[in-house]
Structure 1
Amino acid sequence: MDLPALLQDTVATLAPALPYLYEGAKETGKGFAKKTGEAAFDQAVKLWNWLKPKAEATPALQSAVADLAEQPEDADLQASLRVQLKKLLTDQPALVGELQALIQVSTTQTTTQNVVGDGNVVSGRDTHLRDMNNQA
């Protein structure tokens, strides 16, 4: 897996659960796990356990995590965390293998998006678009 894809998968897995994990609200996270699935939440917990000590040791990474925990759907904040993770992995290449091993468990996901209206843009990694007549 290339680095950009690894970073994308890591942030996509971690971001939705980060508000529950960052503040240590694992009990609240149990309700979140019921919505997203236990496996997805467990994967986010594993990633957080890997990332937390590194974030605590790196102020810029800590700041990116804190900001994203406040607004997990903000694309700019997700990008900020990807940048900080990239810096971490570039500075410590041995961590790439660790992160790849953690993220490989969750790389197969299916997301369904229902888009209504004209002029919409749907994006994502390996996105396949299909209109109502199955033409795309």
Structure 2
Amino acid sequence: MLELDALLGQVVPAVSAAVGAYGAGVLTRAEDEAADATVRLGQRLLNRILRRSPRPEPVVAAVTDLAEAAEDPDTVVVLRRQLRRLLTEDPGLAAELAALLPASGPSVQASGERSIAVGGANSGIVSSGDNAVNVQRR
């Protein structure tokens, strides 16, 4: 199963995008075909969360607060905290949400002076040396 922080790292932005697009109406709005893929994903995730939760009220309150004060970063923190509590109590729901998320590739990160990271295939020169001379022959 996906680690909880990684799962929340994908679920919270999608739900936040749906709330940003539709406000508190995201709690009842039917899926709109013209909606962005992230917004639709957020709607599906939120729908699943609310249907499975024995007590959806804290999540509904967090979504409503986020819709009313989207510029306040604390509202996203509150939503994340409510989702963490719910997913910790119901690992089956965490697995269901993970299954709804698109598959992600390996994480690529470069760190340090002149670091290079390539996320996928590279067919060209990658260089970070001082006074390097790079020649690519075909």
TM-score, length-normalised on structure 2? 0.60
Counting only pairs closer than 5 Å after superposition, residues 32-111 of structure 1 correspond to structure 2 as 33=35, 38-54=36-52, 57-103=55-101, 105=102, 107=104
Relative contact order, higher structure (CA 8 A, sep 6+) = 1
TM-score, length-normalised on structure 1? 0.61
> How many angstroms does 1:47 deviate by?
1.2
Q: Quick one: distance in 1 between partners of 2:53 and 2:47? A: 10
Name 2:134's counterpart in structure 1.
Answer: none
Contact 1:47 1:102 in 2 (8 A): yes
- Cα pair distance change 1:127/1:81, threshold 3 Å: farther
Equivalent residues, number: 108
Question: Which ranges of structure 1 fall in alignment gaps of 5 or more residues?
Answer: 109-124, 130-134
- Cα pair distance change 1:56/1:97, threshold 3 Å: closer
Q: Which amino acid aligns with 2:7?
A: L
> How many angstroms does 1:27 deviate by?
8.3
The percent identity for this pair of structures is: 32
Name 1:115's counterpart in structure 2.
Answer: none
Structure 1's consecutive aligned runs of 4 or more residues displaced over 4 angstroms after TM superposition are 25-29, 125-129
Q: Tell me the secondary structure at the aligned position of residue 70 of structure 2.
A: coil
Larger Rg: 2
